[in-house]
Amino acid sequence: MDASTTVTPAVLILLGPPGAGKGTQARMLEDTFGLVQLSTGDLLREAVAVGTEAGQAAKAVMEAGDLVSDEIVIAILRDRMAQPDCSKGVILDGFPRTTVQAEALDDLLASAGQKINAAISLEVEDEEMVIRISGRYTCAGCGEGYHDTFKKPVKEGECDKCGHTEFKRRADDNAETVASRLTAYHAQTAPLIDYYQTQGVLKGINAMGQIDDIARALQGVVSDVME
Ligand code: AP5
Ligand code: MG
Ligand code: ZN
């Protein structure tokens, strides 16, 4: 392909409360559309594990279920989006989460001649999110997400994707922290639904059903906006 036919990479946002299924669905969209999932939660957990300056600042905030500062999160996201694999197009999972972050993203994309194809809101009731989060665990090898009841590995104790046999649970998936995360979502992130509605890029998906049914609905939306 020569430079004159360069395709502008797609930018999709998955909006939704804790446990809505953003990570689960983003990974499925990655596989289907060849896009790259960017989860600021995963990037922050990596920074905490490595012990970077940002990670040290974020650790206690995440354990309390509050939002990490816009400054830290925007810097992490900007660095990640500058990496070459993001030229395929990205699915933003858990970013933006505040109006300041949304405006920073608009500026970042505008400076690269890109735009948001769609902000897809996964609509779930608060009670369901608590059930989903309390049963969640992930593969320690590849990060694939599972659930004690709703998404078990095909072979017990072995990851479907990579065969790993070790799994982990998140430090912030306890009842008290989940309550704070929900409060932060309603106060600071839910207003972005109106923000993207005003921009004309908002799509809503009922995310109360089965994982595969939601994936099919989502694929339909993404196919439409990527045309
Ligand atoms: P983050 O990691 O983004 O957590 P979150 O938003 O609380 O969302 P989760 O990852 O808990 O849920 P999910 O929607 O990905 O659900 P999942 O697919 O796993 O953020 C963590 C923290 O980092 C924040 O609290 C904050 O401190 C900080 N942070 C991150 N980004 C930030 C930002 N931009 N600004 C400031 N701070 C930031 O599904 C959940 C479970 O349910 C799984 O077990 C799954 O198998 C299961 N499941 C999924 N779909 C279904 C279904 N349809 N039916 C039944 N079960 C299902
Ligand atoms: Mg997630
Ligand atoms: Zn795995």
Which atom of ligand 1 sits closest to the CA of residue 98?
Answer: 35
Atom 21 (ligand 1): residue with closest C-alpha? 41
Give the model confidence (pLDDT) of 22-81 as tens digits: 999 999 999 899 999 999 999 999 999 999 999 999 999 999 999 999 999 999 999 999
Ligand nearest to the CA of 20: 1
pLDDT at 106 over 90: yes
Give the model confidence (pLDDT) of 136-178 as tens digits: 999 999 999 999 999 999 999 999 999 999 999 999 998 889 9
What amino acid positions are annotated as catalytic residues? 22, 97, 136, 170, 181
Helix H, strand E, coil C: the string for the chain is CCHHHCCCCCEEEEECCCCCCHHHHHHHHHHHHCCEEEEHHHHHHHHHHHCCHHHHHHHHHHHHCCCCCHHHHHHHHHHHHCCHHHHHCEEEECCCCCHHHHHHHHHHHHHCCCCCCEEEEEECCHHHHHHHHHCEEEECCCCCEEECCCECCCCCCCCCCCCCCCEECCCCCCHHHHHHHHHHHHHHHCHHHHHHHHHCCEEEEECCCCHHHHHHHHHHHHHHHHC
User: Ligand 3 centroid to 159 CA: how many Å?
Assistant: 5
The pLDDT value recorded for residue 6 is: 52
User: Ligand 3 centroid to 160 CA: how many Å?
Assistant: 7
pTM over 0.85: yes
Ligand nearest to the CA of 166: 3
Q: Name which residue leads in pLDDT, 9 or 59.
A: 59
pLDDT at 4 over 60: no
Atom 41 (ligand 1): residue with closest C-alpha? 132
Which atom of ligand 1 sits closest to the CA of residue 132?
Answer: 42
The pLDDT value recorded for residue 7 is: 60
Residues at CB less than 6 angstroms from ligand 1? 16, 18-24, 39-41, 44, 61-62, 65-68, 73, 94-95, 97, 101, 132-133, 135-136, 145-147, 150-151, 172, 181, 210-211, 214
Give the model's confidence band at 9: pLDDT under 50 very low, under 70 low, under 90 confident, else very high: confident
The pLDDT value recorded for residue 2 is: 43
